[in-house]
Amino acid sequence: MKAAVISLIVVLAMVQLMIKPGQAINCGQVDASLAPCLTYLRQGGAPPRQCCDGVSAITKMATTPADKRAACQCVKDAASRQTSLNDDAAKTLPQKCGVKMDIPISPTTDCNA
């Protein structure tokens, strides 16, 4: 049992070392973080707590410029897939969650800016 725990710790440490800076964020993580926000992003109102937790998680994941660009592109792609996105709700989501997020939730965002 003790050997299995040590092996698991070694494997996890190796995986952490293999992640290159700027490649730590993927769209699956961003999509999962924004999934609880879908109803709010379509209808407005008050975002649920799980949604705000997801917005906060994205800001914590996107710390480097490369991570922010990657997260931005994922958010932009996710917004593009939503045909009934409420622009006002999308613009006010970070503020309503009390989170400073430099990534606009919009299908027209320029992620290189």
Task: Write out the DSSP string of the chain.
Answer: -HHHHHHHHHHHHHHHHHSPTT-S--HHHHHHHHGGGHHHHHH-S---HHHHHHHHHHHHH--SHHHHHHHHHHHHHHHHH-TT--HHHHHHHHHHHT----S---TT--TT-
| The pLDDT of residue 53 | 97
| The pLDDT of residue 24 | 72
Count Cβ atoms within 10 A of the Cβ of residue 93 and give its class: 0-12 exposed, 13-18 middle, 19 or more buried: buried
How many structural domains are present in the chain? 1
Residue 3 forms part of a structural domain:
no
Q: Rounded to an integer, what distance in angstroms lies between the CA atom of residue 43 and that of residue 47?
A: 10
| The pLDDT of residue 55 | 96
Q: What radius of gyration, in Å, describes the C-alpha atoms of the chain? A: 16
pTM exceeding the 0.85 threshold for the entire prediction = no
| pLDDT tens over the chain, length 113 residues | 543 323 333 333 333 433 444 457 899 999 999 999 999 999 999 999 999 999 999 999 999 999 999 999 999 999 999 889 999 999 999 999 999 998 999 999 999 98
Residue 72 forms part of a structural domain:
yes
Residue 47 forms part of a structural domain:
yes
Residue 15 forms part of a structural domain:
no
| The pLDDT of residue 83 | 83
- The CATH number given to whatever domain includes residue 89 is 1.10.110.10
Q: Which structural domain, as residue segments, surrounds residue 92?
A: 26-113
